[in-house]
Structure 1
């Protein structure tokens, strides 16, 4: 037994660093932090530039976040095809939480403003459910009433992120504020036309913040240039169409649901593509429809015609109201498939994308 233990120790110590990195990258994400505690060498590998480069190219995760801290989020790995549980008990409060977005393995959330923080002043929080760490953001400079919010990577470093908030200022104008994790401060990033955008449909893609307006259009705010563009929703040959915005690695998409007598009859997807014309820079291009037999099965998974969708990597995930099943459309492969059912009763949750990239290195002060 002693000889076998010595042999194992020698085998691991003699392995080249790049082979150890390839072995460690195959671990399930919830095992990362237990293995990095084994020794200083392994901990250094998890923080290396090479390992985090590999992680950025790995399959992302889908997280189902409950609104109550006593419930456990569910995380689905597209690499291992399994569901795992995490915990929100590290957040020191018992108030309901609204999760508003994710980036770089972090979740952006706000605490219910009606409970203890004033109706128009929710407390924003950024947390990492895998490292069990969180950071409460300071009060904003100008925004007095939040319309929408999103979190996005701020640079190439592992511990950098930016939180973008669109809201109404005390002067009655619509402004954009940005929180930088490096400076730990808010600043006004610009102003936008007087439009109202829906809080649940805000994404960041290639330098622009995208959101759905209350009138049904698509707003794109270029953060660096401070330019706002409002585009019309794509249309189909029906009047009974409502659309949602989805953003994934491949691009920006509109998912349109066709209804008839409050019954889901079909789903159409469009992608925002650039075009070189004098009049328009972008256009909506139809990329596919949900097959009728898939739509029928999807409709049977719930007693409601309402559904939510979210982009994860190269995939768009669909979940019918209170359903225990998730349907996935692979944008690159143009294919449909179902994820395994949840291992627990988690009907009343919101879907949020949780990428693997930079999870191992994100720090909080």
Structure 2
């Protein structure tokens, strides 16, 4: 009976499955696998999220093997997923719908890859127009899903080192943006030299997007934050609380706003939210 169901009916049923169940379902037979490929929007993250709470995914921060951990909130259970299908060891850049954008850890030249740890599929994004090493990367997820099973997105690359016109290397000042809608990189602006240096040398983590601004935190003491206003094409920088005393600090988006989590070696972790005028509260 199941093999005779029309694809649109079967796809509707699949839309109620959790990510792990969908991955197992598509591996059952060629008919079901073809259904998932033929009706990607019906089995996309957007519709899945209507029926299932979001899963939490974590990758090790140090080289402890090619794997990641995912938490299923429905049954409150953790899963270990191997990433050995990827050709290189990676660290995460951002989640994009049901996919993960990653970058290699064994090469300084930026090569971004989209992967699905459940279906064990991946594809490389095109190389940027400017070959650069150790740049900062930021991701903005767009609302539209009309062009594929996941939201459209844009990737911003800032800083890094590139080849100088007369040989050697220089800090790259051009800001590039990859648009998933046309699968192409574009030069969209410039980065102040001071910011380009900090983004290259002192920015080990990726960005956080909040209210039209991409934020990066520098790891050099004292900690500080850099922001790029996408619509206005403006850069700005500001400090963080206890900047010279923090032993660890990280940015995240909470309730739509920028949040800072940090703490000293002998104290408890603290949480601050960014208010108007770049004030922390």
* TM-score bracket for the superposition, by shorter chain length: 0.7 to 0.9
| Structure 1 pair 149–189 and aligned structure 2 pair: CA distance change class (3 A) | same
Asked whether the 8 Å contact 1:69–1:96 carries over to 2, the reply is no
TM-score by structure 1 length?
0.58
Answering whether residue 280 of structure 2 is matched by residue 284 of structure 1, we say yes
Q: For 1:82 and 1:25, how far apart are their aligned partners in 2?
A: 21
Q: TM-score if structure 2 supplies the norm length?
A: 0.73
User: CA 1:143–1:211 in 2, change beyond 3 Å: closer, same or farther?
Assistant: farther
Bigger radius of gyration among the two: 1
- Counterparts in 2 of 1:31-70, with a 5 A limit? 31-35=21-25, 43=36, 47-48=41-42, 52-53=46-47, 55=49, 58-66=52-60
Task: Kindly provide the CA deviation profile for residues 191-226 of structure 1, in whole angstroms up to 9, marking residues without a partner as x.
Answer: 222221313142222322110134521111112321
More strand as a share of residues: 1
Deviations 1:80-115 (A, max 9, x none): 311123232322x2x43232332222222222444x
Deviation of 1:58 after TM superposition, in Å, equals: 4.5
CA–CA distance in structure 1, aligned partners of residues 17 and 174 of structure 2: 43
Contact 2:251 2:258 (8 Å CA) reproduced: yes
Match of 2:272 in 1: 270
Determine the C-alpha separation between the residues in 1 that align with 2:16 and 2:82: 22
Contact persistence 1:102–1:150 (CA under 8 A): no
Show structure 1 runs of 5+ residues with no match.
1-5, 115-119, 275-279, 286-365
Query: Which has the higher relative contact order, 1 or 2, with Cα contacts under 8 A spaced 6 or more apart?
Result: 1
Q: Secondary structure at the match of 2:59?
A: strand
> Aligned pair count?
254
Contiguous gaps of at least 5 residues in structure 2: 165-169
Q: 2:104 aligns with which of 102, 111, 114?
A: 111
Following TM superposition, by how much is the alpha carbon of 1:56 offset from its aligned partner in structure 2, in angstroms?
6.0
CA-based RMSD of the aligned residues comes to 3.7
Within a 5 Å distance, the mapping from 1:23-38 to structure 2 comes to 27-35=17-25
